[in-house]
Amino acid sequence: TWRGVKTEKSTSDMWNYQEIIHTLKPSVILEFGSRFGGSVLYFADVMKAVHRKGTPYRILTVDVDKSHIDPQVFEEPHVQVVTAPSASATAAAQLAAARAA
């Protein structure tokens, strides 16, 4: 869990993600398969630490059903939830629009 929210990712994967994020300092993270939202909250916290000097960043998370996602995710100012199948034209259009913004 992260912040009390279940995540489907392994501890070692989470460690590797933070190493990659710290090294690359991306401005955008795309996550496919939000499920409960624990991992997107983790990404939000890691990105906040990496971009603490005010560099803008966003996290886009895609899932077909947002009803399972913890309310904390929707309160994160840098997180956008896209509700659509990940391979759909709807998801592609929403991700392209968010990336361009």
Q: What are 17-53's pLDDT values in tens digits?
A: 999 999 999 999 999 999 999 999 999 999 999 998 8
Q: What is the dihedral of CA 80, 83, 85, 91, to 10 degrees?
A: -50
Instruction: Report the length, in residues, of the chain.
Output: 101
Neighbouring CB atoms inside 10 A of 7's CB total 19
| Domains detected in the chain | 11-100 (3.40.50.150)
**pLDDT tens column, 46-73:** 999 999 888 899 999 999 999 999 999 9
The predicted model scores a pTM of 0.91
Kind and range of the H or E element at 89? Answer: helix 89-100
Kind and range of the H or E element at 32? Answer: strand 28-32
First to last CA, the chain: 31
pLDDT at residue 100 greater than cutoff 80: no
Instruction: Compute the distance between CA of residue 84 and CA of residue 88 in angstroms, rounded to an integer.
Output: 7
Closest CA to 48 of 74, 29, 62: 29
